[in-house]
Amino acid sequence: DKENMALIFDRYKDKLATLPKERGWTCENIYMYQGFWFESMHTVSIESLMALQDTFEARPNDIYLVTLPKAGTTWLKALTFALVHRTRYKNRDLLTHPLLVYNPHTCVPFIEVEVFENTPTYVDPHLSRLFATHIPYTSLPQSIHDCGCRFVYLYRNPKDVLVSLFYFANKLRDKSLGQLTFEEAFELFSKGIMLSGSYWDHVKGYHKVSLEHPEKVLFLKYEDMITDTTSNVKRLAKFLGCPFTEEEEATGAVQEIIKLCSFGNLSKVNKHGTSLDDVPNHAYFREGKVGDWMNHLTDDMSRILDEITEQKFHGLEISF
């Protein structure tokens, strides 16, 4: 709700003015807050993060889908929604499935957006909740830490995240700022400057928790989801508490869900319309492939990102 949003933005105006800033991806500035970067006045914004930190009340059975922007958030939302609600929509006319009508961002909301909305899922204490967020682990609202909530974390090769973000940000960017060049995008990304970045610190934060509490965090990789969708979707179902039965597996339920959430299917459904405060639905579907960075990065750019990744992920089992 726009009025509520304006009030909240206003409440954090003074705090925002004290933060270090740089040129942003989609608007004039991006701000450093608690060691990470956030843009302002967006639905998923620094003000919504501050508001969540002040007010959000997590519940122990909440599940959070966590990603960096462009790591595959939309796909993960679709798969999770389809898995959790699969009995509800079984045997119905498939055309009524919400994922064939609405964008996955409408089906599974970001807490950063819900803080402005007060929807039933947000306020009704009896509903078990499925949320998404881009918030880095250390900046999550305290109640999420206190409740011991579970997380699904999806990450992706940083080079493909950069390319995907480059196209996405230019689609959303204030017209008055002109387009970002790929060189500028590379500069920002390699300095760690992107929404909820740095890329490496975000991944590392959740990776650490997944090692300490493997039962709390399911750590998934976009590239694995692409090459071995079936076993990763099964892992996801199990973690969500709705594993596939033998009968379901025998009757093709896994493949049905994979097909429903496939890039080809969802990009067709989302040709028109907008979600998340005026983002065109089609902007979330570009190529859906692994390795498009090879068509964009120079050898030097690729080497620099390899070096940063090696240094930042040294000793961790994260590879691409």
- To 5 degrees, how large is the angle CA 65–CA 34–CA 134? 15
By CB under 6 A, tell whether 197 contacts ligand A3P: no
Specify the stretch interacting with ligand A3P by CB under 6 A; choose among 210-218, 236-244, 259-267, 273-281.
Answer: 259-267
Options 42, 97, 105, 134, the catalytic residue: 134
Which listed residue (8, 47, 70, 157) binds ligand A3P by CB under 6 A? 70
71 is a contact residue toward ligand A3P (CB under 6 A): yes
Binders of ligand A3P in range 134-193 (CB under 6 A)? 160, 164, 167
Stretch touching ligand A3P by CB under 6 A, among 48-56, 92-100, 240-248, 283-291? 283-291
State which of residues 262, 279, 312, 320 lies at the interface with ligand A3P (CB under 6 A): 262
User: By CB under 6 A, how many residues form the interface with ligand A3P?
Assistant: 21
Coil vs helix vs strand at 153: strand
Query: Which residues lie closer than 8 Å to 122 by C-beta, 6 or more apart?
Result: 109, 114, 115, 129
Active site annotation includes 282: no
The reply to whether 81 sits near ligand A3P by the rule CB under 6 A is no
Interface with ligand A3P includes 232 (CB under 6 A)? no
Find the binder of ligand A3P among 284, 297, 301, 309 (CB under 6 A): 284
Q: Which is nearer to ligand A3P, 46 or 266 (CB)?
A: 266
CA distance linking residue 148 with residue 22, whole number of Å: 34
21 closest CA partner among 12, 13, 32 = 32
Handedness of CA 43, 45, 48, 49 (dihedral sign): positive
Whose Cβ is closer to ligand A3P: residue 12's or residue 37's?
37
φ/ψ (deg, to 5) at 228:
-135, 70
* Nearer CB in complex with ligand A3P: 71/83: 71
- Token representation of residue 96: 């009524």
Judged by CB under 6 A, which of 8, 83, 84, 261 binds ligand A3P? Answer: 261
Strand ranges inside 117-216, DSSP E = 130-133, 150-155
Q: Which residues contact 235 (CB under 8 A, 6 or more apart)?
A: 218, 220
Of 62, 209, 68, the C-alpha closest to 144 is 62
Q: How far apart are the first and last CA of the chain?
A: 41
Question: Does position 199 bind ligand A3P by CB under 6 A?
Answer: no
Give the nearer residue to ligand A3P in terms of CB position, either 5 or 68.
68
Cβ 77 to ligand A3P shortest distance, Å: 8
Binding residue for ligand A3P, selected from 72, 158, 192, 197, defined by CB under 6 A: 72
Strand partners, 169: none
Question: CA 42, CA 249: separation in Å to the nearest integer?
Answer: 41
Binding site for ligand A3P (CB under 6 A): 67, 69-75, 160, 164, 167, 261-263, 266, 284-288, 292
* Active-site residue list: 134
